[in-house]
């Protein structure tokens, strides 16, 4: 079977969950004997300029789509990003089947300017003119149905989890506990709330508790400066970019995982932390899908979060129970289970 995969990039070392997943799917298909063609923006990065993205999406992308259809006779296309799937309607006119991943509707939900909000509304709406829509959570599915009620029957739930992480072994009589965060350091993720947590640890003179922050993004320099200015280095450390080969060991170095994000289409770092067996803490004002949030410990605020961590530090039975809850919740997100669902969708469209 021939298939064309379309993503901004296919890159396991990028730090972008979407690009890592796209690369992982490509590898799986090749290993199963599929003929795989890929379309990506070669000079793209996480902070690639908007002009380059627009040029690629409106000029390069349609030309390549037509090339693979006409000259390579490809009849199945999988778009890993909804904003590149605006040509689904055109491909279907050419006798092609298409699949589109919807990760979230953040462009509409978080855009403050009306023009930008309407732009994303149009992009998302055009992307629904596909054979199958893959949503990464029940929340994204419900949001999409509100956008276009007529696409309900096209939607299939497939979780885009791509890493296979080993479960952490509990260490007896641990002297120091590590609160961990791994993910992008942008404003939507609210990593700066970890500074508030560090201040509370310092203020309450809590011993044996330290925060490790892994990731890159716009708030990195701000957090570094605050740590120096407020002398918080004994309570919180900025660890920088987490390379793919270190991910498993990084999660294993944590005892707790704090996920302060405001809005998530799914919340992959929280899922991965649960797969390892870490208690995961989120705030109750966060828009995080129910199937993820139900495996987390929900906190009213930073004070409540710290109190719950202190309780688990001193109560081993409660800590083990929280770890088991995480592992149990994570099972539905396992890669093998979801890649099988994806392969079955390909086979269904190829008939």
What is the residue extent of each domain of the chain?
A: 2-161+334-350, 177-333
Q: What is the mean pLDDT of the chain?
A: 93
pLDDT at 44 (0 to 100): 62
pLDDT at 172 (0 to 100): 58
Spatial CA neighbour of 2 closest among 71, 74, 70: 74
Rg (CA), the chain: 21
pLDDT at 14 (0 to 100): 74
Identify the residue whose tokens are 């995982």.
257
Token duo for residue 227:
């740590």
pLDDT at 350 (0 to 100): 84
Q: What architecture is the 2-161+334-350 domain classified under in CATH?
A: 3-Layer(aba) Sandwich (3.40)
In 63-173, DSSP assigns E strands to 76-79, 97-102, 132-135, 155-157
Q: Count the residues in the chain.
A: 351
Rounded CA separation 78/347 (Å)? 13
Global pTM value: 0.90
User: Helix, strand, coil shares of the chain as percentages rounded to 5?
Assistant: 50, 15, 35
As to burial, measured by CB atoms within 10 angstroms (0-12 exposed, 13-18 middle, 19+ buried), residue 101 is: buried
32-58 pLDDT tens trace: 999 999 999 877 655 567 788 888 888
Identify the residue whose tokens are 């990731």.
215
pLDDT at 5 (0 to 100): 98
In the chain, DSSP assigns E strands to 2-6, 35-39, 76-79, 97-102, 132-135, 155-157, 177-182, 209-214, 236-240, 256-258, 280-283, 297-299
Please determine whether the domains at 2-161+334-350 and 177-333 fall in the same fold group of CATH: yes
The DSSP result for 289-313, as a single string, is -HHHHTTSEEESSHHHHHHHHHHHH
pLDDT at 161 (0 to 100): 87
Identify the residue whose tokens are 């793919």.
244
Walk along the chain (351 residues) and give the pLDDT tens digit of each residue: 899 999 999 988 777 888 989 999 999 999 999 999 999 987 765 556 778 888 888 899 999 999 999 999 999 999 998 989 999 988 999 999 999 999 999 889 888 889 989 999 999 999 999 999 999 999 999 999 999 999 999 999 999 988 889 998 876 566 789 999 999 999 999 999 999 999 999 999 999 999 999 999 999 999 999 999 999 999 999 999 998 899 999 999 999 999 999 999 999 999 999 999 999 999 999 999 999 999 999 999 999 999 999 999 999 999 999 999 999 999 999 999 999 999 999 999 987
DSSP 263: B
Q: In terms of DSSP bridges, do strands 155-157 and 177-182 run parallel, antiparallel, or are they unpaired?
A: unpaired
Task: Write the CATH number of the domain with boundaries 177-333.
Answer: 3.40.50.2000
| Sign of the four-CA dihedral 128, 44, 32, 140 | negative
Token duo for residue 224:
């570094």
């Amino acid at each position: 079977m021939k298939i064309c995969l379309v993503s901004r990039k296919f890159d396991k070392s990028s730090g972008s969950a979407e690009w890592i997943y796209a690369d992982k799917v490509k590898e799986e298909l090749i290993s199963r004997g599929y003929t795989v063609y890929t379309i990506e923006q070669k000079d793209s990065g996480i902070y690639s300029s908007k002009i380059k993205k627009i040029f690629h999406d409106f000029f390069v992308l349609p030309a390549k789509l037509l090339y693979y259809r006409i000259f390579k006779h490809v009849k199945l296309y999988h778009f890993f990003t909804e904003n590149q799937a605006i040509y689904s309607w055109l491909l279907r006119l050419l006798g092609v089947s298409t699949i589109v991943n919807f990760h979230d509707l953040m462009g509409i939900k978080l855009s403050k300017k009306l023009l930008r909000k309407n732009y994303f509304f149009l992009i998302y709406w055009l992307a629904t003119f596909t054979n199958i829509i893959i949503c990464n959570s029940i929340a994204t599915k419900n949001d999409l149905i509100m956008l276009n009620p007529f696409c309900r029957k096209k939607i299939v739930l497939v979780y885009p989890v791509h890493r296979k992480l080993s479960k952490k072994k509990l260490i007896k009589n641990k002297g120091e506990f590590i609160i961990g965060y791994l993910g992008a350091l942008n404003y939507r993720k609210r990593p700066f709330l970890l500074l508030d947590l560090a201040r509370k640890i310092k203020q309450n003179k809590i011993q044996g508790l330290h925060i490790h922050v892994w990731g890159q993004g716009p708030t990195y320099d701000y957090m570094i400066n605050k740590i120096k200015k407020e002398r918080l280095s004994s309570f919180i450390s900025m660890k920088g970019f987490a390379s793919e080969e270190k991910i498993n060991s990084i999660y294993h170095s944590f005892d707790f995982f704090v996920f302060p994000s405001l809005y998530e289409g799914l919340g992959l770092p929280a899922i991965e932390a649960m797969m390892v067996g870490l208690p995961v803490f989120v705030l109750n004002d966060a828009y995080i899908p129910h199937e993820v949030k139900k495996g987390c410990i929900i906190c009213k605020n930073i004070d409540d979060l710290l109190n719950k961590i202190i309780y688990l530090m001193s109560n081993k039975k409660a800590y083990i129970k929280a770890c088991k809850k995480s592992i149990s919740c994570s099972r539905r997100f396992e890669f093998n289970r979801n890649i099988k669902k994806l392969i079955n969708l390909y086979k269904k469209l190829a008939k």
